[in-house]
């Protein structure tokens, strides 16, 4: 499956590829520092490339895809399931169908409109009824009925997301997710 080129993703992955510090930080599993490094160096340029919410959504998806791969955490992204596009599913759809408790859905809305986000959360609750297992990545801090992370230059809580995903993956499992010792 080939994905179409996107200038924001291209810019992000070009930055990561050229950065010597990110490779070093990956080997040290300093995922929060990597996220902060990317935001510090890419945020301003990327938010000028598209509508802010769109740009941040693409940036968040790209960062998560890159870091989940490097953290060796099972995940699926951009999955079409029961007519809905799921941004990120950890570990996968099969687990979601068998046991929602063991599955994390991460929603990355390309909007900061609370009404649109709330509607999407309501729609996703049909397939992930466990409120604690649905997280949302936002471009600004708005009050929603889910655990949320903000990807911004000022109040950035997004840098903690990989560790929280790893903790989620490690809870109640004695299996292959124990790669990140937290």
DSSP line for 18-37: H-HHHHHHHHTT-HHHHHHH
Judge contact between 73 and 47, C-beta under 8 A. Answer: no
Q: Residue 81: its pLDDT value, please?
A: 95
Averaged pLDDT score across all residues of the chain: 90
Spatial CA neighbour of 162 closest among 19, 41, 56, 33: 33
Check if the beta carbon of residue 116 is closer than 8 Å to that of residue 109. yes
pLDDT tens for each residue of 103-143: 999 999 989 999 999 999 999 999 999 999 999 999 999 99
User: Looking at residue 154, what is its pLDDT?
Assistant: 87
Q: Coil, strand, or helix at residue 42?
A: helix
* Per-residue pLDDT at 173 exceeds 60: no
Q: Specify the 3-state DSSP secondary structure of 99.
A: coil
Q: What is the largest CA-CA distance in the chain?
A: 44
Kindly state the helix (H) or strand (E) to which residue 107 belongs, with its residue range: strand 104-107
For helices 52-70 and 7-18, the axis angle rounded to 10 degrees is 40
Q: Can you tell me which residue has the tokens 């995940």?
A: 75
User: Residue with structure tokens 């809580």?
Assistant: 157
Confidence of residue 47 (pLDDT cuts 50, 70, 90): very high
- The pLDDT value recorded for residue 35 is 96
């Amino acid at each position: 499956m080939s994905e179409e080129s996107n200038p924001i993703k291209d810019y992000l992955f070009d930055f990561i590829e050229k950065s010597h510090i990110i490779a070093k930080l990956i080997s040290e599993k300093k995922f929060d520092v990597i996220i902060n490094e990317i935001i510090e160096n890419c945020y301003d340029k990327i938010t000028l490339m598209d509508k802010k919410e769109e740009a941040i959504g693409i940036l968040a998806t790209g960062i998560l895809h890159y870091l989940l791969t490097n953290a060796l955490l099972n995940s699926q992204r951009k999955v079409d399931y029961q007519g809905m596009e799921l941004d990120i599913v950890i570990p996968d759809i099969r687990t979601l169908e068998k046991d929602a408790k063991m599955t994390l859905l991460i929603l990355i809305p390309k909007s900061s409109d609370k009404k649109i986000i709330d509607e999407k959360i309501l729609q996703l609750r049909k397939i992930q009824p466990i409120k604690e297992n649905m997280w949302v990545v936002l471009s600004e801090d708005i009050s929603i009925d889910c655990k949320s992370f903000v990807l911004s230059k000022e109040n950035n809580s997004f840098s903690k997301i990989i560790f929280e995903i790893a903790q989620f993956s490690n809870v109640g499992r004695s299996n292959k997710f124990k790669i990140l010792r937290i």
